[in-house]
Amino acid sequence: MTLPVTVTFMLADWIIKGIADGTLERVGGVIREVGSKHIVTWLREQGSPTGNQLGEIGRSMLLTQGILQVTSAVSILNMGVSVIGFAVIAQRLKELEQRLQQAQKLLNHINRKIDLSFYANFRAAIELATNAFTMTKTENRRSSALQAINRFLEAEHIYTEFADIEIEQKSQIADEYLLTLSLAYLAEARCYLELEEHETALRRFQEGSIVIRSRIQKYVKLLLTFNPAVYLQPQFRGQIDLRRLTRIYQWLDPTLNENAVFDMQRMNLFMLAKDPNNAKWVESIPAAIWDSKVDWVGKAILDDPKPQIYARLPKTLAVVESMIETNLRFAAYQTELQAISQLGISFYDWLKLTPPTEIKPEGAKLMYIIPSKPLELQPSM
């Protein structure tokens, strides 16, 4: 069967030119036309990277002097749903659980306990799903998969509630629960894909996107603080610039440009200049950035916490970018499912796509799936 896509390890010159002149943009795991939002390319990682390897992939995408720029912070999700199977989900879940265990050591100072018991249930659900799709009998395969789906649904409800509570408390672990929630929706949708229930998988991605994005928006606004101009202080020259802040605001409101964002920060910059000690801002910052009860234990009451707080801001902004990137990748998964349907390709054929004659160049970490003509798909990002 001749597939209506080209699969290659080399990014086409016309795509590089389009990104350079601003007519194309990367959003999550796709490259699309800026005006029409038509998809021209899907990006697919090669292999199943974990841990620090994800950072290498992020850096490998800084092609042609930053044309295919990815934020410095790495998303917990892969570029495409086709390369984030149950084994990868399990690895990501393990990483999040370990991060919460580290957070628990700090929260012990204020007698705050984190309930990690639900992670064991989530892991068991992943194992159930993994086993289900190794079964040969169709009825057993479907029955076990539906049991796993029920557990993933339970996880979605649990981690939605956890995320809401932590966001309300402006805590330092809200992002861990938001990322866990993303994995729960992804695991459920992946089960439906394995069952070839594409429409249900697409619907669950769409519903999950609404739930996740609304909460990530609250978290992003929380980390921007009441005066986002603090991220543009002179001490962050070379680390944080207006363009970087603009990209965050454009995720919140795509109609904004750099001039609009600068206008939004004019008075904020003036307020910072009037209060060089930033006393009001320091008093107002959320615990998600700095919590005196946790982060200032053992310090003298007269010590100045501002140097420690400011030192955290570049990392905080990277967390914001990482959460946005995760949301964009999750939303982009919908375009894969829409493409599978529109191109008439089964999910398993989509998984097996590879360049028919190309030899993979040494060090190549990405593969590009290019439809014969740009696809008009329902925008999800």
pLDDT tens digits, one per residue of 322-338: 999 999 999 999 999 99
Residue-wise pLDDT for 243-266, tens only, equals: 999 999 999 999 999 999 999 999
- In the chain, where does DSSP find H-type helix? 13-21, 53-60, 86-107, 117-132, 138-168, 174-194, 198-224, 242-252, 258-274, 279-284, 292-295, 306-343, 347-351
DSSP states along 153-164:
HHHHHHHHHHHH
Q: What's the mean pLDDT when you consider all of the chain?
A: 87
Nearest 5°: CA angle at 167, between 270 and 108? 105
pLDDT at position 357: 85
Q: Is the pLDDT assigned to residue 9 strictly greater than 70?
A: yes
Low-confidence winner among 127-131, 305-309, 312-316 (lowest mean pLDDT):
305-309
Contact 81, 186 (CB under 8 A): yes
pLDDT at position 68: 41
Q: What Rg value do the Cα atoms of the chain yield, rounded?
A: 22
Query: For 289-298, what is the mean pLDDT?
Result: 78
Low-confidence winner among 98-107, 115-124, 132-141, 222-231 (lowest mean pLDDT):
98-107
The model's confidence at residue 3, banded by pLDDT at 50, 70 and 90, is low
pLDDT at position 293: 81
Q: What is the sign of the dihedral through the CA atoms of 351, 353, 358 and 361? A: negative
Low-confidence winner among 47-56, 98-107, 186-195, 333-342 (lowest mean pLDDT):
47-56
The model's confidence at residue 70, banded by pLDDT at 50, 70 and 90, is very low
pTM above 0.85, yes or no: yes
pLDDT at position 356: 86
**In the chain, what percentage of residues exceed pLDDT 90?**
61
If one compares 191 and 114, the residue with the highest pLDDT of the two is 191
The model's confidence at residue 56, banded by pLDDT at 50, 70 and 90, is very low
In whole angstroms, what is the distance from residue 83 CA to residue 25 CA? 22
In whole angstroms, what is the distance from residue 369 CA to residue 337 CA? 14
In whole angstroms, what is the distance from residue 174 CA to residue 368 CA? 34
If one compares 90 and 52, the residue with the highest pLDDT of the two is 90
In whole angstroms, what is the distance from residue 238 CA to residue 229 CA? 15
Could you report how far apart the first and last alpha carbons of the chain are, in Å?
A: 32
Residue-wise pLDDT for 81-105, tens only, equals: 888 899 999 999 999 999 999 888 8
In whole angstroms, what is the distance from residue 71 CA to residue 62 CA? 10
pLDDT at position 45: 86
Query: Pairing state of beta strands 30-33 and 39-45?
Result: antiparallel
In whole angstroms, what is the distance from residue 55 CA to residue 72 CA? 8
Nearest 5°: CA angle at 224, between 218 and 229? 150
**In the chain, what percentage of residues exceed pLDDT 70?**
90
Q: Is the pLDDT assigned to residue 378 strictly greater than 90?
A: no
In whole angstroms, what is the distance from residue 150 CA to residue 161 CA? 17
Q: Is the pLDDT assigned to residue 19 strictly greater than 50?
A: yes
Query: For 113-119, what is the mean pLDDT?
Result: 89
Q: How far is CA 166 from CA 140, 187, 207, in A?
A: 39, 23, 21
Q: What element of type H or E holds 135? A: none
The model's confidence at residue 299, banded by pLDDT at 50, 70 and 90, is low
Low-confidence winner among 32-46, 98-112, 314-328 (lowest mean pLDDT):
98-112
Q: Is the pLDDT assigned to residue 133 strictly greater than 90?
A: yes
Count other Cβ atoms within 10 Å, centred on residue 270. Answer: 11
Burial class (CB in 10 A: 0-12, 13-18, 19+), 24: buried
DSSP states along 313-367:
HHHHHHHHHHHHHHHHHHHHHHHHHHHHHHHT--HHHHHT---SSPPPPTT--EE
pLDDT at position 207: 96
pLDDT at position 61: 42
In whole angstroms, what is the distance from residue 125 CA to residue 136 CA? 19
Contact 323, 177 (CB under 8 A): no
Contact 337, 377 (CB under 8 A): no
Q: What is the sign of the dihedral through the CA atoms of 201, 206, 210 and 216? A: positive
pLDDT at position 62: 40
The model's confidence at residue 297, banded by pLDDT at 50, 70 and 90, is low
Q: Is the pLDDT assigned to residue 303 strictly greater than 90?
A: no
Token reading at 41: 């390319």
Location of structure tokens 């919460």: 100
